[in-house]
Amino acid sequence: MTITIAGFDFQGPYRGTGNLTRRMGVYVVYKKGPEEDIRYFRKYIGYSESIRERVDDLSHHKRDCWMRETNNDPYFAVRYISNQQQARDVETRIINDKATPCNDT
């Protein structure tokens, strides 16, 4: 499954972190719409050198926000990018594309 975000193709969204790996890239936390609704709503965008470890980290500085915003049922989309500057650029473009409740602006 793929989803296009601000012109970039991402893997997912996946329910929970089971399909994520410990690779560098950008991740987007979503809330899924009601059962009959196929939409997903962005709640947080982040970058990490190890996406799986970062989103599983209970001390993540925005975890409480995204758990609250997703009713404790987050979905994750990921784009693995091996170049740190490119990953940061993608993260910035997506953050600037649409406001999310858990990203500081």
Q: What is the pTM of this model?
A: 0.93
**Domains assigned to the chain:** 2-97 (3.40.1440)
pLDDT of residue 32: 93
**pLDDT for 73:** 95
Tens of pLDDT, residues 3-60: 999 999 999 999 999 999 999 999 999 999 887 778 899 999 999 999 999 999 999 9
| Secondary structure of the chain in HEC code, one letter for each residue | CEEEECCEEEEEEEECCCCCCCCCEEEEEEEECCCCCCCEEEEEEEEECCHHHHHHCCCCCCHHHHHHHCCCCCEEEEEECCCHHHHHHHHHHHHHHCCCCCCCC
pLDDT tens, 69-82? Answer: 999 999 999 999 99
